[in-house]
Chains A and B, each alone.
Chain A
Amino acid sequence: MTAVFIDTPKRLVDVEIDGVAVRVPEGATLLDACRAQGVDTPTLCYLENLTPVNVCRVCVVEVEGSRTLVPACSRKAEPGMKVRTDSERVRTSRKMVLEFLASSADLSLASADVQRWIRSYGADPSRYGDPAPDHEAGARDAARPGEHEATSGSEAETVKQPVKYDNDSYVRDYSRCILCYKCVEACGEDAQNTFAIALAGRGFDARISTEFDVGLPDSACVYCGNCIGVCPTDALMPASEYHMRQNGTWDESRQTVTTTVCPYCGVGCNLDLHVQDNTIVKVTSPLESDVGHGHLCVKGRFGFEFVQNRATEE
């Protein structure tokens, strides 16, 4: 007997994306097929290192014979599927998702891709009126199911509220939260299995919360920051970055990103060091790394300061 690998050869599946024949391995999703074909497909709640939860619906495509639009990120390619990614129906649906999210949450720090999709799908978040006044601190967290009162409709409801800053490691700015669940997934079964956060509330009052809405230091959080790593809108942000942004010194155009290996235990996680003015300002981990698939522990993500504390030491 010699080395036996678990990965067995896969059958290939033929599908049609916008009239073009595409061949993908069995088990691939329609998103995989679209990407293989170079079709730009927006995603918000999808990430390669997480299980798709299908909540944002921005990646929907039209499958011939299907009554509803289907989420490309989780729908497996089946032989003979005919998929349209640019039909009127798809474009309208994607536009509405982007428009609703951008009108209710602050997407200004979302990736360049997100900004591009907002433009290219013609989403106009401002057409729902001026934003309603910000929520007071804790108001959204106190909302109980069934007690939500709809606004008059003359202004746009938002999730705007003060930043939650209750620890040294990271801040939670839920004004930016689009409820993509990625943080919950990363904190839970998909990576960290700490379960410090979950979804609370219903409808527009739904929000990400610790157990009983306690502050992070009183929660189960172990500060791995894997929630930060997956957040698509920077609602979750390292304190180091938050401070610099507050002070107006954060400048990505002056930053370099260098991949190296964590200086702590022997697992060998890859670190992407974001450096500005010869100072590490943020640590992330590349998704494509086989070691940690983008995830880190508290030491890897936050334990870098010792190298720059010593410059002033004698």
Chain B
Amino acid sequence: MFGAGGGTCSYREAEDADLLVLWGSNAREAHPIFFHHVLKGLRNGARMYAVDPRRTTSAQWADAWLGIHVGSDICLANAIGNEIIRAGLVNEEFIKRATTGFEQYAESVKPYTLERAERETGVPAELIRKLAHDYAKADRAQICWTLGITEHHNATDNVLALINLALLTGHVGRYGSGLVPLRGQNNVQGGGDMGAIPNKLPGFQDVESDEAARAKFEKAYEMTLPPKKGLHLSQMFEAMERGELTTAYVVGENPLRSEADTARARALLEGLEHLVVQDIFLTDTAEVADVVLPGTASWCEAEGTVTSSERRVQRVRKALQPPGGARDDIEIIAELARRLGTDWGSPTAEGLWNELRTLSPMHAGMSYQRLEELGGIQWPCPSTDHPGELFLHARLWEADPAKRGRPAPFFAVEQEDPLDELSAEFPLRLTTGRRLDSYNTGVQSGGYATPIRRPETLNLSPEDAARLGIVDGEKVKVSSRRGSLEAPVHVDPVLREGLAFMTLHFPEQVQTNILTLDAWDPKSGTAEFKATAIRVDKLGEPAPDTQEERPAEVGT
């Protein structure tokens, strides 16, 4: 937000908040230890609203659950904004001093009345009004979100809609108030910090617009950097489709399984002229690669750092000798450079980190020694006498305009429905999520046994199951516009009528991504895993012919 992408709060602030809004986040299962802080907050008297299509185990702890229709988040957020403005609950002083674009925003949310929002989101108007008033009136309030917000074709707009609410009420830049995106993977924040974003250099320095930063990197690297942003993952797949991207070097990802629309992802990866996969496993993607480079498990077989959802940079350390043949990622990359004609010597994790500290001001003060002593440091940490920041954007509250700096802009955003439209043929909305015991495509979590793990199922609401005459455990055919598969049904009372749920954890059992749509958000490149239109048919009954359906690939 406002330049550098990171959560504004620390976890401990949830313990002292007055109001927590979990929006599209099932933290109880997906971020259990963050939820411990939330629970402390609840014990300390905080109230909690949960905005989620499912009445998740997190929502079950909330004072109120807003069972929203999948993909109607902006409508709900704008209605909340409109109600806060209408009721005169905006923080005028903050808006005037620290923001821009309020007038335009206020105008844009006017059509989002409570009545319209009730109609379009499925949430009772009174509940929306209550959330709006409670959020605006709370002393310390946070909005926490996860992939329920970001795995949509308009992910960035969804996030902006939430940021607008924080700006409207001044719930940012103060202890206990803020915006908390919970990262799904242990170093997804660190990847962004290190410039693994198409338009950023390490430390969120813009590759196109920040010439001074680019010059600094060019000087350090003794080479010219193209002042042009790269492609994000979804664009890469499109470039493959156009035949423009012919070689891929995949490090620690399993796109063949994790990308939406598996059939397309497989065809494109197999169609590459050259595919290199560097991983600790022979993943499905590695299976189709030309070259596989066995890497080390970064969290226990190598030295380095990762960054958490509260911007805390922490050390990972080598506890195990990697299996024979596996090499440290740094060593592999340096060796690759050597083969390409550049000798970097034998760089170490700490050496590279210290190089980064000279180039990324927000990391400058984080020596390995300090990271060790302080149990990690939260960026920004510009100097070795700086303790790191508990929360971001305190500057917005400064009285002195010079200290306050650039104001935070409102962004007017409009509701857009999920691209995979519901129809008579595909009447059910399939959404995806994580289970407590499992993780992503199961490559890691499949390695351990636990009594709480259940096999993959298509979860249906009791109402839909009854209407379709399906009983718990019955195997059914699930179809989307892209493909179909068979899966057993679990009748799940946390789902409302019309909503179905699956995970991506067990591709060897059920390849959920055969169904999902690869439509992606043009601003962030995130695919819309959360909103697929499906139909469910009993097995043994001929499915009605549909012209929309592509040749089915049946995964069982």
Contacts and interface: CB of A to CB of B under 8 A. Distances in A.
B448 A302 contact: yes
Interface stretch (B255-263, B313-321, B358-366, B459-467): B313-321
A278 B297 CA distance: 14
Interface string B39-72: 1000100000000000000000000000000000
B36 A295 contact: yes
Given A260-B315, A290-B375, A306-B443, A299 B300 contact: no
Given A5-B175, A264-B444, A267-B308, A298 B450 contact: yes
A35 B184 CA distance: 40
Interface stretch (B27-35, B512-520, B526-534): B27-35
B510 to A, nearest CB: 20
Interface of A: 1-6, 167-169, 189, 191-193, 216-217, 221-224, 256, 258-271, 273, 275, 278-280, 288-293, 295-300, 302-311, 313-314
Contacts, number: 191
Contact of B182 (A193, A267, A278, A292): A267
B450 A223 contact: yes
23 contacts: A2-B394, A189-B43, A222-B436, A224-B32, A261-B186, A264-B444, A267-B33, A267-B182, A270-B314, A273-B320, A289-B375, A290-B376, A297-B436, A299-B436, A299-B438, A299-B445, A303-B439, A306-B443, A306-B445, A306-B448, A307-B280, A307-B297, A308-B320
A273 B307 CA distance: 19
A153 to B, nearest CB: 42
B312 A291 contact: yes
Contacts of B33: 267, 269, 291-292, 295-297, 300
Nearest to B393: A3
B213 interface: no
A300 B31 CA distance: 11
Contacts of A2: 394, 397-398
Contact of B439 (A279, A291, A299): A299
A46 B32 CA distance: 24
| Minimum-distance CB pairs A-B, first 9 | A266-B183, A268-B308, A306-B447, A258-B319, A297-B32, A311-B323, A263-B299, A217-B451, A273-B319
B449 interface: yes
Nearest to B10: A290
B148 interface: no
Contact of B16 (A6, A222, A262, A303): A6
Q: Tell me whether chain A's interface is mostly helix, strand or loop, or mixed.
A: loop
Contact of B316 (A168, A169, A261, A267): A261
Contact of A268 (B310, B436, B443): B310
B436 A298 contact: yes
Q: Among the interface residues A1, A279, A300, which one has the most CB atoms of the partner chain B within 10 A?
A: A1
Q: Tell me whether chain B's interface is mostly helix, strand or loop, or mixed.
A: loop
Interface in B290-327: 297-301, 306-310, 312, 314-321, 323-324
B447 A303 contact: yes
B137 interface: no
Interface residues of B, number: 68
Contacts of A279: 320
A263 B444 contact: yes
Interface of B: 11-12, 16, 30-34, 36, 39, 43, 174-176, 182-189, 280-282, 297-301, 306-310, 312, 314-321, 323-324, 375-376, 390-391, 394, 397-399, 436-439, 443-452
Nearest to B189: A266
A227 to B, nearest CB: 14
A263 B282 CA distance: 18
Contacts of B318: 258
B319 A268 contact: no
A263 B302 CA distance: 12
A216 B451 CA distance: 9
Contacts of B443: 306
Contacts of B314: 261, 268, 270
A175 B297 CA distance: 39
A261 B451 contact: no
A1 B174 contact: yes
B198 to A, nearest CB: 20
Q: Among the interface residues B280, B308, B391, which one has the most CB atoms of the partner chain A within 10 A?
A: B308
